[in-house]
Structure formats: C-alpha cells, structure tokens
Structure 1
Amino acid sequence: MEIRTNHRRSRELRFQPREGDTYSDVVDHSISLGPSIKSARDVGIALSRENAELRRRPIRAIIETPDYRLPRDLRTWSVDYLGHRAKTGRIYNDRTLCLASDLLGDDVVKLRASSYFDFLCSNLLAPLDIWQAGRESPVLRGRDLILDVEGRLISFRRSRLANLIGVSTLAFTTSGQLLLVAQTPENIGSPGLLAPSGSGALEPKDVPRRMADWTIQQIVINGAERELREECHLKASEILGSSVVGHGRWISRGAMPEFCTATLLNITSDQMREKTLRRVERSFVHDVIPVSLAPVRFWDPGRPLEILPRKHRDAVSWPLALALTCLAECINDKSWPLRKDLLDRLEG
C-alpha cells in the first residue's frame, strides 16, 4: 500500500526547472560580495573578501557535529525527487563534507559531514519549483531555499541546505598547457561541458590525519588533488604542488560553495596524452584535453572565458569559469606562492 501511495503521489508531482531564471536580481543584490561569473549554462559570484583572506593566511577548520540532516519540509519531497534524479543520470550516496559557516566573521570555518543524497534533496531543489496536480501555485518555490525575504543570498551559517563543498583545480603540465576535462552527459556536475582538470566534492577522507593541519586551504587542496588523480589518472609523484586561488557561490546550484586551486604537474603534455582513462571514470569523463592559454598579459578576471582558446569558450562549466577568474587575479599577486613557477611555464 505504501509503494502504491508513493507511486500515485509521484505521478501528481512535477519538478519544474526554471530554465529562464538568470538570477539577475540576485546578482544585483550581491554586488558587495564580489563580481558575477557566467558560464555556458550557469551563474554565480566570486567572493572577493573571502578570496583575499584565503590567499593571505591559513584559516583554521573544524568538523562540527552532528551531521547535516534534511529539514522536515525537504524530507517530504526527498523520495520523489531522488526517483526523479535517478531517471536523468547516475547518482550515488557517498559521504561528503559541507560548509556550515562563513569564511569571515568566525574564528574557524565549520564543516560537517552529510550524504550526497541530502545535497541532491536540498541544494539541487533550488533551481526547481515543485508543482502538485490541482494546485494553482507551487508547493515549493526553489528560490525560497537560497534567498531571504529581501531577496539576498542566505549566509552559510543560516542556510538550511546541505551546502556540499565543491572543489576543483587547474593543472598545468611542464609544457605550460592547462588540462581540461570533457565531461560525459551522465555527469551530474556539468553534463557535457568542459570542467577543470579535476573537480568534485570534498569527502571526509580529505581531512588531514593531524589536527594541526586542519585548515580549509589544506583540506580543499587534498580534495582537489584527489579528484585530479582520479579523473586524469595521475600518480601522486606526478603532482608537484597546489595552491588555493579562490572561492565562490554557484547560484544556479543552490548557491553551493565552490573552491578552486591551481596545480603544477611533473609531466609534459605529450606524456599526458599517452595516458588512458581509468575504467571507473569513463562514465563521467569523456576526454582530457591539454590546451594552450592566451598570453598572460591579456588575462582579465572580468572576462575569464577569453583566457581559453575560442573553440572551447561555448562549453565552459561554471567551476571552470570561476577557477579562471580567480587564477587571473592570483597571477597579478606577487605574494601568491605558485606565481613565479607558473609564469615560467606559461612564458617559457
């Protein structure tokens, strides 16, 4: 009887994407937070003050308990929405790390564990409205999950969403080329688009064993390098080092937090082309493409897509656009640790 009831209710529900929502009003209200960034399908903002702090000093992080749990009103739609998502792509329920506080205003950054399903049923409901047969208005307005009564983004500290922490990296070969990952249509993150060299979500295993190393920067670097090794089939010895370049909020995906880094590799572009994808990654990664970027003197944080070759600009994912924006800012910051070595590669 329960199965029949759920099946009947699922036929009465409609998860309606707001494809025409450009979030222009949200961007206007967020001018004080940082510049807006647009990609092929999505929009978000780079957090300027937070990014300056990320590059200036180590920021202590702690793991908060208890784990994140879906609020009762969101649990109402969780089973139906998971069934809906299962029809559109591969889903899994690994353990993840989420952001429970803001980077500024607190002594430490608070993280907490959650399941990937909780992220799907919270942040990924925000781009949707839920309609029920016979109702004249939505039973859930997705925008209400990320905006306050004045139409401004709700802070991470006050948010009721999981706010899974996205991480990515821009990896450069010794030849000075950037590795781009062409994602498959089955990839939930940015299906069919070009992503950074490694991108995904933070997991509990990315937290260092020593509590003395619990900074948000080190945890983010650990997660980004793990994703890089997995997606580009790299060994740990082929990674020389990484540095955090920035942080933003991906408005089109429930205003989730997204961190980006840059990585220097110990292999040439030709050696990278000889590698084959790991079998387990073939459902998510179609190809890894080394590309040459525009000369550094033309890099403009306000026009990140122009850093890439023209033929790739129409297929850029939002994490890639964010990472290029932040990298263009870092390359002009003489205190940024990777600046000199990266310039040598790019201009060599």
Structure 2
Amino acid sequence: MGKLTRRARAKADYLGFLGAREWPLAASGLGVLLGVVTILPSAIGVVLSVVALALGVTTFTRDVRLLRRRWAGFEFTTIAAPFPTAELPPPSAYPQAEYVAVPARGTALVSAAIDRDLWTGRHTIEVAEEPYRLPASLKATAPHVLPLRARGRLLFNGPVVGMRGDPLPAAGARPAPIRLHRARFFDAVCSNELGTLRITRTGTGEEYDLRKAELTDSAGALRELSSSSLADHVGVSTVAFTTDGKLVTVRQSALNAVSGLLLAPSGSGSLEPRDLRTPDGGARRLLHTAVRAGMERELCEESGLTPDDVRGTKVVGFARWMDRGAKPEFFGLTELAVDSAEVARRRPVSGERLYSAGLTLFDVDLAAIGAALADGVPLSEALPQRLWEDGSLPLLLALRAAAAWQAARV
C-alpha cells in the first residue's frame, strides 16, 4: 500500500469513526440536501419543498450548535509526571512483580516469574464471540480524544486483538485459557491511550483520570486484565539477531504515534486477528504460537525480511505498559537465517515506510547483559549506552527479557 493510499485510508478511518458516533448530524445534513434537490416545478411542490428545506436547515443548525457545545465540553491536559507506581501496587496475583521506569519513555510492570512460566509455552487461548465495545463512560469522550490523538499522525482503525486474562503461573495443572477479544485500534486509542490524559468537564469541573477510574481495583492495587474494561490490545515485539550476531533495530519516523524518532525492536506492533489463524485457516490454540505469529509478521513488515529468513522465535517475556492503560505486551527473541549484510539491503514493505526511517544494527552480548542483570546491575548500566539512550520502552524491555532467557540457558 503506497503512502498516498495509506494517508487516504487513515483519513477515511478517522471520518468513519467520528461519523458513526455523530450520525444524527449527518442525517440532518442529508435532509437539507434532499430538500434542495427535490424542489418540484409546481406551486404546491415548491411550497412543500421550501418548508422541508427550512425544517432541515433549522434541525441541522441546531445539531451543529449542539455538536460544537459538546465538543467544547471537555478540556484535556497531558499528565507529564512519571506514572505514580507508589500509589498503585501490582496485583497480588502477580508473583515477583516490579515496576521498571525509564525516563521520558514510560513505566512497565514486569515479573520474572511470569517470564519464566512463558518459556514453557503452556498457556492456551479462547476467543470471545462478541467484539469489544467501548463502555459508556468512555464513549462520551471518544469523539474528542480521537482528533486530539490523530493530530499530526496517521492512525488506522485496523483490527487488533485484546486480552481478558493474565498469563499467571499455575502450579501443576495447565493454566486456565486466556480469553482474547477482537477490537479495533480506535477502541484502544479511546480507552488505553487515555492513560496520560486528565479530562475535565468544563461545565462542572469534574475530572476523569483513567488511572484512578479504570486501572485501580477495590483493594487499591492495579486491576488484573481479567477484570479490565479497556480494549487492552496486545503488543508484540521481538528482537532479531543475524547469523553473525548483530541485533536488528528499526529507527522510527516522526509519524510513529508512540515511539517516534526512537529505536524500536526488530518487529513491533499489535496482535491481529489473522495471527490467531494457522496458514491453513485453522484456529491457534496456544498463546505462544499466536503471539509468535504476530511477532514474526511485524518483523517481516518492518524489516523487509521474509518468513524464509526467520529460523525461529521464542516468547521470552511479558509486561504491562502502564502509561498506555496498563496494556499487555509480549516480547520475543528471533534467530535469523541471514547475516547483517543481507539485512542491511532490505527495505520495509511499502505500507511501513511512513513509520520506519530504516534499520540500525548493533553488537549486543545478550548473555553478558543477562549475567549483569542477575547480579543486580541496573538495566541502564547493563545495556549498551546507545540503546539505553535511544531505545524505545518495548526495545529495552525486549532486550531485558531476552537477556534473562539467554542467561538461564548458560
């Protein structure tokens, strides 16, 4: 898909999402249009058409005023302060949970025990029949949030997969299936992406803070995914290494909505419904095979590699990205079948070139990073300086998880 086509699609998705929620205004406008084109060449027809046109204009004018009043009814303020981890302890069900905060990039909740359990690949999935729907509390602000988030960016209302379960370790028996649901990207923009906004009703001064309203459970801790009301679209990221040991990273362009101008993982994006199906059309039953499919799809799209260039991917970690409504994120480690010279010649697929400014390769010793982390060295000191300074949060977390897995194998 070319750049102009993608820009047109982004605009169509944007207008379609708003139009679906403001259809009475569109209907009034259609009434005005019909009143104009149906004026008949007879006295009675002219009178009736003029009356219909006048009513249509009146209704349309009223709806426009009401729309402007509603759109002016909210004020949005960016919350620039770091996520208040001290005010929101991890869920009690998350073992060995801790927050990882990276200046200027965000905060994530991680668990070494959950990561180790994911290495076994025991979790199964089931997909809800009904797609996700925004709750009433979020529908009211959706038409206002989307223009705010879309300003200066290209956003597509593509299909994504959300998560209604937590990949928690289970003693003995296989864990219960993790429930997934189908959603659209704009659902996530109007729910999870409110995590850094404070919304105020101009008429009453009432404030809405997603962190308090949606992320906090009755005990004052972070709500588990199983009881969340947000879209909770699943993030998938993988770090790929060439046959000569080079780490592949993607330089994000300024149009990227989340990690603009930062170094991203080799493949990073959202899990999609197509990742839940096998190549022959069957349903995937295991969480790690679905997540792995999403990681490798994103890798090929953003790097220009092909499935034949990928030897295999291991799911090595999990986190919840607190600044984005505590959405779930999975991390992988991919072994490539090509060397760095071949990777350097590749280009992302046409649809990704708006977001990718090219590839950068690094020498990274995962085993050494893993050993340093195991000895208590902070992530900021264990990683190469350039990666720590320029890496996006998914890249840093993916390297952390991959290094821990690599060190456990030694």
What TM-score does the superposition give when structure 1 sets the normalisation length?
Answer: 0.89
Q: Shift of the alpha carbon at 1:124?
A: 0.7
Q: Shift of the alpha carbon at 1:251?
A: 0.6
- The match for 1:50 is 114
Q: 1:19 aligns with which of 59, 70, 80?
A: 80
The amino acid of 1:142's aligned partner reads L
Cα separation, 2, equivalents of 1:205 and 1:295 = 31
The amino acid of 2:97's aligned partner reads G
- The match for 2:131 is 67
Asked if 2 retains the 8 angstrom alpha-carbon contact of 1:146 and 1:254, the reply is: yes
Q: Shift of the alpha carbon at 1:265?
A: 0.7
Cα separation, 1, equivalents of 2:121 and 2:108 = 25
Asked if 1 retains the 8 angstrom alpha-carbon contact of 2:124 and 2:178, the reply is: yes
- The match for 1:321 is 396
Larger relative contact order (CA 8 Å, sep ≥ 6): 1
- The match for 2:188 is 119
The amino acid of 1:37's aligned partner reads V
The answer to whether the aligner puts 1:142 opposite 2:205 as a matched pair is no
The amino acid of 1:35's aligned partner reads E
Asked if 1 retains the 8 angstrom alpha-carbon contact of 2:82 and 2:107, the reply is: no
What TM-score does the superposition give when structure 2 sets the normalisation length?
Answer: 0.76
Asked if 2 retains the 8 angstrom alpha-carbon contact of 1:89 and 1:186, the reply is: yes
Q: Shift of the alpha carbon at 1:264?
A: 0.6
The amino acid of 2:222's aligned partner reads L
Asked if 2 retains the 8 angstrom alpha-carbon contact of 1:122 and 1:162, the reply is: yes
Larger radius of gyration: 2
C-alpha spacing 1:315/1:14, structure 2 compared with 1 (3 Å): farther
Cα separation, 2, equivalents of 1:94 and 1:100 = 20
Partner SS, residue 70 of structure 1? coil
Asked if 2 retains the 8 angstrom alpha-carbon contact of 1:38 and 1:318, the reply is: no
Q: Determine which structure has the larger helix proportion and give its number.
A: 2
Q: Shift of the alpha carbon at 1:3?
A: 3.8
Cα separation, 2, equivalents of 1:224 and 1:34 = 24
Residue by residue, what CA displacement relative to the aligned partner does 1:179-238 show, whole Å, maximum 9, x if unpaired?
A: 111111211232222111110000000013365742100000000000000000111111
Structure 1 regions of 5+ residues with no counterpart?
340-348
Q: 2:98 aligns with which of 15, 35, 38?
A: 35
The answer to whether the aligner puts 1:304 opposite 2:357 as a matched pair is no
Partner SS, residue 100 of structure 2? strand
Residue by residue, what CA displacement relative to the aligned partner does 1:128-170 show, whole Å, maximum 9, x if unpaired?
A: 11112243341x1121221124431101111011100000000
Q: Shift of the alpha carbon at 1:100?
A: 1.1
Identity between Structure 1 and Structure 2 (%): 29
Q: How do 1:226-245 residues align onto structure 2 when only pairs under 5 Å count?
A: 226-245=297-316
- The match for 1:344 is none
- The match for 1:258 is 329
Partner SS, residue 313 of structure 1? helix
Partner SS, residue 302 of structure 2? helix
- The match for 1:342 is none
C-alpha spacing 1:97/1:295, structure 2 compared with 1 (3 Å): closer
The answer to whether the aligner puts 1:283 opposite 2:365 as a matched pair is no
Residue by residue, what CA displacement relative to the aligned partner does 1:260-310 show, whole Å, maximum 9, x if unpaired?
A: 111011111111112233332121111211101147334334633445432
- The match for 2:240 is 171
RMSD value, Cα: 2.1
Q: Shift of the alpha carbon at 1:4?
A: 3.7
The amino acid of 2:387's aligned partner reads H
Q: How do 1:176-191 residues align onto structure 2 when only pairs under 5 Å count?
A: 176-191=245-260
Q: Shift of the alpha carbon at 1:11?
A: 2.9
Asked if 2 retains the 8 angstrom alpha-carbon contact of 1:291 and 1:309, the reply is: no
Asked if 2 retains the 8 angstrom alpha-carbon contact of 1:294 and 1:308, the reply is: no
Cα separation, 2, equivalents of 1:222 and 1:203 = 10
Q: 1:87 aligns with which of 138, 151, 169?
A: 151
Cα separation, 2, equivalents of 1:261 and 1:164 = 17
Asked if 2 retains the 8 angstrom alpha-carbon contact of 1:126 and 1:146, the reply is: no
Asked if 2 retains the 8 angstrom alpha-carbon contact of 1:123 and 1:161, the reply is: yes
Structure 2 regions of 5+ residues with no counterpart?
1-61
User: How many residues matched?
Assistant: 334
The amino acid of 2:391's aligned partner reads V
The answer to whether the aligner puts 1:109 opposite 2:178 as a matched pair is yes
Partner SS, residue 225 of structure 1? helix
Cα separation, 2, equivalents of 1:41 and 1:192 = 12
Asked if 1 retains the 8 angstrom alpha-carbon contact of 2:74 and 2:199, the reply is: yes
The amino acid of 1:11's aligned partner reads A
The amino acid of 1:141's aligned partner reads D
C-alpha spacing 1:225/1:57, structure 2 compared with 1 (3 Å): closer
The amino acid of 2:348's aligned partner reads L
